Structure 1
Amino acid sequence: MALSNERRIGRHAIMLLLSDDSEQELATLKQSNWNGCTGKVGSMEAHKVVAAIETAAKKNGIIQPNIYRETHALYHAIIEALHGVTRGQVQLGSVHRTVGLSFAVLRGNPYENELEGDWIAVSLYGTIGAPVKGSEHEAIGLGINHI
């Protein structure tokens, strides 16, 4: 069950997120049977961040909307990534915080053995802070879950 160095899903999700050319990065990942998407979301409400990422993943065919375990795996990866951005307290508006985030969702098999199946990674990068322009700082988060 060796984790292949070339197939580290978290690293690839972060590289996709921070890439200056995400379309080229996605094309390269697709050659390895990986599927991904990128997007942006800003909100004072965590559920809106979750909904934006989930919608993008469904719209881009990363997960099948009618398969519960796929939506469930994505949800847990999103929440784990939000924990990184919010420093462990997934609260935004209720504590006067807002986020402006770019996100990447990546699905693939990070193992040498194909029988290990697919995993999903969500990476987030952007700003978090008081809902006043200039009162924010950078943050990054990563969540990985098996499907």
Structure 2
Amino acid sequence: MVAKLVKVTLLMLVLGVTPAYAQSKDAMEKEREKYMEKQMEQYRDRVDTFVKLLNVDDFKAQIIKQKIDDFYQKRNQIAFSEKHQELEKEPLIEQLKISHFADVKELYTEETIASVLRFVDDNKAEIKKLQKTKTKKNN
């Protein structure tokens, strides 16, 4: 009798915990999705701000946006890839950075390309730098 009671109690305990785990997993997944959406929104805002600060025409601005988006997608594929070992990833990303923007070098000045490369490395710092430069020119 006691053995049956223990078995039933364990079964009820397992059944009681399983839905709670599934609900917490769903809640965690929703939180992750919200976080990723927020990060993408902030990323888009930074890219838009950067392109506005570059003072290029609309056509060139769209090309820069597309190239930066494409670069980040390729960089993330390398960074999160299980094909490459950790030590291989950094040189691959550096090589990608150099080769990815090579085809648009004739469209932009060296200063603009250098700014784009700095943005890819540290976008917040580059935006601050461009904002400081713009305020100095206005004064």
| TM value normalised by structure 1 | 0.26
Structure of greater relative contact order (alpha carbons < 8 Å, 6+ residues apart) = 1
| TM value normalised by structure 2 | 0.27
